[in-house]
Amino acid sequence: MPKYKQNDERVSDGVNLLISILVRYPEIGTISFDPQNNWLKLTFIMSTVPSEIEFNNIKNLLLNSIIAYTRLEDVSFKTLDIQLDTYDQVAMLSVFRDVHTISKNEIALLITLLRGKFQSNLITDYNDSLLEEDLLIQEEVIEDMLTSIKKHHTENRLIGIREDGRVLVFNK
């Protein structure tokens, strides 16, 4: 197993990216970075399980919206998948996107679409102490960290989760 130094910039960029995304978008329950497949997995948690028809509708909406967005931005994506996992009365909607073509605006688009479709069923961990300035700073950090990860390959599998109002990132 490789050893990582605390000041390793590639590790730091990946960790900062996951933290910033989770802080900026409280609708995201967990986020994972897989360097071997070069994708981010954004997982949204819902308090109810959508029917198969509802899931297919939201999946098609998300897929079509991302495809349209990437075409408008003239970006060719490699990874785009949406999955649903259910556990009793809770559903986890996961969006897989390659890290080289995803953008902060695309993440914002996903959040807006999911808020519109699931409203009160989307579990959200709001932090009332964040000011609008803080959110804008997080958006800048997300943009910078995405750019850095696109330029410098990292070998670290990372997962970021929310727990009791905190954001935790682990090296898998």
The answer to the question of residue 138 being in a domain is yes
The answer to the question of residue 15 being in a domain is yes
Q: Please give the structure tokens belonging to residue 2.
A: 């490789």
Range of the domain at 167: 9-171
Helices (H), 25-131: 52-72, 104-118
The answer to the question of residue 105 being in a domain is yes
Partners of 43 in beta bridges: 30, 94
Q: Report pLDDT digits (tens) over 120-162.
A: 899 988 766 656 667 778 788 888 888 888 787 677 899 999 8
Query: How many domains are contained in the chain?
Result: 1
Asked whether 117 and 42 are in contact (CB, 8 A), the reply is: no
d(CA 137, CA 9) in angstroms, rounded, equals 20
* pTM (predicted TM-score): 0.88
The answer to the question of residue 4 being in a domain is no
The answer to the question of residue 42 being in a domain is yes
Q: Report pLDDT digits (tens) over 19-78.
A: 989 988 889 999 999 988 889 999 999 999 999 999 999 999 999 999 999 999 999 999
Q: Report pLDDT digits (tens) over 74-106.
A: 999 999 999 999 998 999 999 999 999 999 999
Burial (Cβ within 10 Å: 0-12, 13-18, ≥19) of residue 116: exposed
